[in-house]
């Protein structure tokens, strides 16, 4: 079944099959291109079209209802394709241009055996100046190869290629050269995904199109796979993997862009034939025509030597006609001229296209990687799930969201990639529908999950406990965080107020310390435990289950390292706020361990913010660790405040010292997290790991203490200096 | 079919009287000289542009109007030149091939 269309062809209405019309159109286009440099090309084309129209009419008169593919093929065969009459036809044109004895000789030999002649720039086939094309003609290779080499020289040699090209452009004379190759590398517009490069390469080497595609996309796929493993095993998320830019992949990416620019697109039918070498169904026609020509040519070549002289005279006569002039005019009007203009435009266009494609590719790729990362980090958060999700439905929704909402796009993406590479053209819309609906289900699950979890954080409860404080005799209170028996490590959840996760318990250090002014002359302290829940009762129960100890020894208050949330309590953003009231005129020192070991991060999942609704919140003062403060009627003040102005040098020295300490501490902190290696070589190495850790810990603490001690002596030192002077 | 020979053949066919391109093809086919129509049209146009040929339109029953080609005076003159050149060549070739029978026959078979 074929569609028949009516065309107006040379003033006749011809019913013709659509496919036949396409063939015909391409054929006439190829003729038009072939005769582009010919004077009176319109007339030639017109004559040929006329003849074809006549043949069509004859065909229709015979009783056929329309012109078919077979008719058109037959007519094209009898008229001959440009490739077929190329050898006979183009040579007069050449001989008209080339006068020398040697060059005239090319007229009498077949093109493929033609001597190379002089090195020219090729006017007929050029992107910039036709240098590459001329060079290729001289070397008898595909211009594309020369262009690629030039591009590589330019890229690798810091512009040496450009210089070379310009020199050659200036030196070499221009000439209209006809191709001396049977097969050329083209980009194939019929089988393209991006630029048709892979498809063209496949056609040139006569291999399956998936081979070059696989090669070009291999680094992408490999990168993706290694990226996943990288994510899973190293927990190290890199949203822009170095796939596109580094090593093999980058080279291929650049290579593709270069090929895109350099390789011409197979536009006309003859281009497409050249791309594949020769078409099989033309083979027989060619063979028969050429076989007969061969005999004549054989004889003609024998008489060539003698005949040449006379033919030359004959050629002279032709040359004197208007044709010589027309040649130069035709060069301007022909597609050669069009190519000059479009060459640079094409390169720029491709660069732009490549750029946008590159950006789009990066975006898509980043999205894909992000999705993967979410899935795999989801797997890593897996243990947390038990503390967050409640009941069957939440778990169900969580799994649904994970598999469908996140998994489906990834699978769809991979499917799409595979189908594109394998060149599957069949648009299976059910596949799209299936993916789409699954994803929608996933989306619904996700929304329900979010809603459900949100409901678990609906109400908040707070429990206030007073803590009795033994008044310190020195008038100075120090706050520290106690050492825990077990050392926690693992960078994943440290930041979020979550210290660590066990099989059945979650340890949070979501604790905040507030300093306020005491109403009387005594130190006071109280802690408030907060938790969320589905309803007030559950929230209160959750808050009640927080066990956070505060104890005092002498003038030091020790805070717990964190508090435990058991699996059946679940994570409901529990937190503790410890408030210490300092009377006016008394001092407080907050150890650095408070800053370091308790989390300051606020997870505001609840409908309202925590602290601002606390009525006594406005009284609380901002503090800095490791700085001694004194409570004044206006709030906390640094003890060393006065000295800042009076003793600048000393102060500067102290600041320097402090900075140094900070750096040292940072360094130590880092080392803390590397739990296995002993910190110092000369430290004693106990047998048990835990014991060693503890010892290390103590050592750290000691050094810290000594440092804070040093800090305090350093700002006491002015007094000592005064004493020293007094002495 | 090398340049010159083909033109020579075509001109000699046209010389005999007004002719339609596809008739030229047929005639050459009869003489066992196969050329493609696509080759013929540009050649005719070229010859016409060098004022060696002229044509007139003839209404046709089987399709669009046809171009019938005939020789101009200049064309006839040129044909004369071509004829003499060819004769010279043919004589020269004949003389050579007759003298060296054995080698030339080998060459022909190649």
Contact in structure between A530 and A460 (CB atoms under 8 Å): yes
Q: How confident is the model at residue A684 (pLDDT cuts 50, 70, 90)?
A: very low
Residue among A601, A608, A527, A531 at smallest CA distance from A570: A531
Annotated domain spans of chain A: 4-80, 116-181, 183-279+334-371, 389-455, 457-639, 662-726
Residue B107 covered by a domain: no
Torsion sign, CA atoms A98, A99, A101, A107: positive
Q: Which residues of B touch A35 (CB under 8 A)?
A: 42
Assess B91–A contact: CB distance below 8 Å, yes or no.
no
Residue among A562, A542, A575 at smallest CA distance from A501: A562
Name residue, tokens 């004077």: A39
Contact in structure between A518 and A505 (CB atoms under 8 Å): no
Contact in structure between A456 and A538 (CB atoms under 8 Å): no
| Beta strands at B66-71 and A587-590: parallel, antiparallel or unpaired | unpaired
- Which chain B residue's Cα is nearest to A75? B37
Q: How far apart are CA B23 and CA A692, in angstroms?
A: 108
Q: How confident is the model at residue A531 (pLDDT cuts 50, 70, 90)?
A: confident
Q: How far apart are CA A71 and CA B12, in angstroms?
A: 32
Q: Which residues of A touch B33 (CB under 8 A)?
A: 296
Q: What is the DSSP string of B52-82?
A: SEEEEEE--SSSS-EEEEEE-HHHHHHHHHH
Interface with A, mutate which of B8, B43, B45 (most A CBs under 10 A):
B45
Query: How far lies A171's CA from each of A148, A153, A396, A521, in Å?
Result: 21, 19, 76, 99
CB contact under 8 A, B64 and A292: no
Q: What is the reported pLDDT for A673?
A: 43
Q: Mean pLDDT across chain A, nearest whole number?
A: 68
Question: What's the whole-number mean pLDDT along residues A280-289?
Answer: 46
Q: What is the reported pLDDT for A284?
A: 41
CB contact under 8 A, A61 and B62: yes
Residue B110 covered by a domain: no
3 state DSSP class of A334: coil
| A11, A54, A306 member nearest B89 (Cβ) | A306
Assess B107–A contact: CB distance below 8 Å, yes or no.
yes
Query: How far lies A463's CA from each of A364, A526, A532, in Å?
Result: 49, 10, 12
Nearest CA-CA distance, residue A341 and chain B, Å: 28
The predicted-structure confidence for A439-452, as pLDDT tens digits, reads as follows 888 888 888 888 88
- Which chain B residue's Cα is nearest to A289? B34
- Which chain A residue's Cα is nearest to B44? A44
How many CB atoms sit inside 10 A of residue A495's CB?
10
| B32, B39, B89 member nearest A80 (Cβ) | B39
Alpha-helical segments (H) within A389-457: 391-400, 408-422, 429-456
Q: What is the reported pLDDT for A235?
A: 46
Q: To the nearest 5 percent, what fractions of chain A are helix, strand and coil?
A: 60, 15, 30
Residue B48 covered by a domain: yes
Over 80: is that where the pLDDT of A154 sits?
no
Contact in structure between B68 and B58 (CB atoms under 8 Å): yes
Q: By residue range, what is the domain housing residue B72?
A: 5-100
The predicted-structure confidence for A37-46, as pLDDT tens digits, reads as follows 777 778 888 8
- Most confident option among A15-19, A107-111, A284-288, A342-346: A15-19
Q: How far apart are CA A513 and CA A595, in angstroms?
A: 9
Q: How far apart are CA A214 and CA A216, in angstroms?
A: 5
Q: How many domains does chain B have?
A: 1
| B49, B85, B89 member nearest A303 (Cβ) | B89
Q: Give ipTM to 2 decimals.
A: 0.78
CB contact under 8 A, B42 and A35: yes
Residue among A400, A405, A402, A367 at smallest CA distance from A382: A402
CB contact under 8 A, A40 and B93: no
The predicted-structure confidence for A545-574, as pLDDT tens digits, reads as follows 888 888 888 888 888 877 887 777 777 878
Q: Which residues of B touch A296 (CB under 8 A)?
A: 1-2, 33
Instruction: Quote the percentage of chain A above a pLDDT of 70.
Output: 56
Residue B89 covered by a domain: yes
N-terminal to C-terminal alpha carbon distance within chain B: 16
For residue B91, the domain's CATH number is: 1.10.10.10
Residue among A590, A615, A576 at smallest CA distance from A515: A590
Q: What is the reported pLDDT for A485?
A: 54
Looking at per-residue pLDDT, the higher value among A707 and A513 belongs to A513
The predicted-structure confidence for A621-664, as pLDDT tens digits, reads as follows 667 777 888 888 877 788 775 544 444 555 555 555 555 555 55
Nearest CA-CA distance, residue B48 and chain A, Å: 10
- Most confident option among A312-316, A555-559, A608-612: A555-559
Residue B109 covered by a domain: no
- Most confident option among A52-56, A100-104, A362-366, A392-396: A52-56
Q: Which residues contact A568 (CB under 8 A, 6 or more apart)?
A: none
SS3 assignment for A340-368: HHHHHHHHHHHHHHHHHHHHHHHHHHHHH
Measured in degrees and rounded to the nearest 5, phi and psi for residue B103 equal -65, -40
CB contact under 8 A, A88 and B6: yes
């Amino acid at each position: 079944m074929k569609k028949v269309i009516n065309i107006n062809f040379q003033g006749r209405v011809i019913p013709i099959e659509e496919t036949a019309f396409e063939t015909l159109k391409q054929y006439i286009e190829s003729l038009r291109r072939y005769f582009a440099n010919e004077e009176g090309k319109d007339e030639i084309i017109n004559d040929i079209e006329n003849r074809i129209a006549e043949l069509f009419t004859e065909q229709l008169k015979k009783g056929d209802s329309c012109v078919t593919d077979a008719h058109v093929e037959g007519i094209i065969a009898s008229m001959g394709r440009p490739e077929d009459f190329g050898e006979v036809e183009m040579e007069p044109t050449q001989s008209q241009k080339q006068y020398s004895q040697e060059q005239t000789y090319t007229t009498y030999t077949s093109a493929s055996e033609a001597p190379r002649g002089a090195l020219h720039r090729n006017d007929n086939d050029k992107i910039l100046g036709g240098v590459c094309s001329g060079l290729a003609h001289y070397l008898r290779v595909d211009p594309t190869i020369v262009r690629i080499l030039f591009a590589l020289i330019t890229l690798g040699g810091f512009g040496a290629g450009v210089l070379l090209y310009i020199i050659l452009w200036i030196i070499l004379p221009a000439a209209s050269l006809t191709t001396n190759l049977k097969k050329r590398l083209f980009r194939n517009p019929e089988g393209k995904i991006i630029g048709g490069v892979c498809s063209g390469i496949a056609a040139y080497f006569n291999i399956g199109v998936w081979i070059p595609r696989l090669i070009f996309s291999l680094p992408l796929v490999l990168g993706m796979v290694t990226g996943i493993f990288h994510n899973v095993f190293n927990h190290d998320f890199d949203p822009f993997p170095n796939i596109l830019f580094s090593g093999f992949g980058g080279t291929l990416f650049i290579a593709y862009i270069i090929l895109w620019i350099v390789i011409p697109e197979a536009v006309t039918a003859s281009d497409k034939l050249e791309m594949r070498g020769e078409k099989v169904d033309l083979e027989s026609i060619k063979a028969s025509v050429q076989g007969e020509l061969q005999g004549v040519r054989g004889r003609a070549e024998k008489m060539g030597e003698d005949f040449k002289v006379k033919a030359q005279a004959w050629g002279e006569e032709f040359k004197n006609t208007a044709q010589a002039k027309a040649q130069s005019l035709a060069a301007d009007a022909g597609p050669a001229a069009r190519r000059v203009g479009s060459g640079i435009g094409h390169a720029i266009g491709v660069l732009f296209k490549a750029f946008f494609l590159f950006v789009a590719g990066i975006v898509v790729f980043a999205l894909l990687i992000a999705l993967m990362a979410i899935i795999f980090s989801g797997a890593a958060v897996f243990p947390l799930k038990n503390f967050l999700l409640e009941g069957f439905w939440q778990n169900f929704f969580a799994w649904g969201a994970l598999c469908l909402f996140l998994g489906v796009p990834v699978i769809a993406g991979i499917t799409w990639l595979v189908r594109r590479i394998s060149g599957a053209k069949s648009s299976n819309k059910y596949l799209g529908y299936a993916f789409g609906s699954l994803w929608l289900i996933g989306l619904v699950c996700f929304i329900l999950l979010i809603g459900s979890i949100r409901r678990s954080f609906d109400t908040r409860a707070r429990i206030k406990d007073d803590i009795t404080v033994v008044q310190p005799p020195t008038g100075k209170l120090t706050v520290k965080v106690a050492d825990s028996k077990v050392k926690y490590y693992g960078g994943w959840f440290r930041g979020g107020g979550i210290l660590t996760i066990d099989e059945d318990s979650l340890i949070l250090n979501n604790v905040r310390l507030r300093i306020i002014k005491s109403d009387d002359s005594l130190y006071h302290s109280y802690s408030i435990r907060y938790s969320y829940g589905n309803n007030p009762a559950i929230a209160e129960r959750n808050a009640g289950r927080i066990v956070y100890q505060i104890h005092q020894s002498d003038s030091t208050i020790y805070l717990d390292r964190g508090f435990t949330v058991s699996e059946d309590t679940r994570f409901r953003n529990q937190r503790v706020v410890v408030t210490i009231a300092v009377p006016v005129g008394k001092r407080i020192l907050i150890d650095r361990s408070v800053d370091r070991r308790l989390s300051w991060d606020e997870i505001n999942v609840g409908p309202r913010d925590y602290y601002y609704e606390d009525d006594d919140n406005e009284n609380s003062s901002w503090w800095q660790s490791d700085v001694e403060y004194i409570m004044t009627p206006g709030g906390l003040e640094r003890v060393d405040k006065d000295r800042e102005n009076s003793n600048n040098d000393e102060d500067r020295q102290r600041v320097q010292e402090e900075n140094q300490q900070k750096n040292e501490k940072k360094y130590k902190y880092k080392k803390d997290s590397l739990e296995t290696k002993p910190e110092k070589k000369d430290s004693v190495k106990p047998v048990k790991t835990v014991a060693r850790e503890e010892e290390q810990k103590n050592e750290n603490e000691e050094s810290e203490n000594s440092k804070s001690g040093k800090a305090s002596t350093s700002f006491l030192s002015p007094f000592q200096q005064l004493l020293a002077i007094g002495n | 079919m090398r340049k010159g020979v083909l033109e020579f053949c075509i001109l000699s066919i046209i010389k005999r009287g007004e002719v339609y391109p596809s008739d030229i093809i047929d005639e050459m086919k009869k003489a066992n000289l196969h050329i493609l129509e696509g080759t013929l049209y540009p050649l005719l146009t070229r010859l016409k542009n060098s004022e060696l040929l002229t044509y007139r339109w003839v209404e046709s029953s089987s399709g669009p109007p046809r171009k019938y080609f005939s020789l101009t005076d200049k064309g006839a003159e040129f044909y004369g030149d071509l004829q003499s050149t060819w004769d010279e060549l043919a004589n020269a070739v004949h003389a050579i091939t007759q003298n060296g029978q054995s080698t030339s026959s080998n060459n022909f078979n190649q």
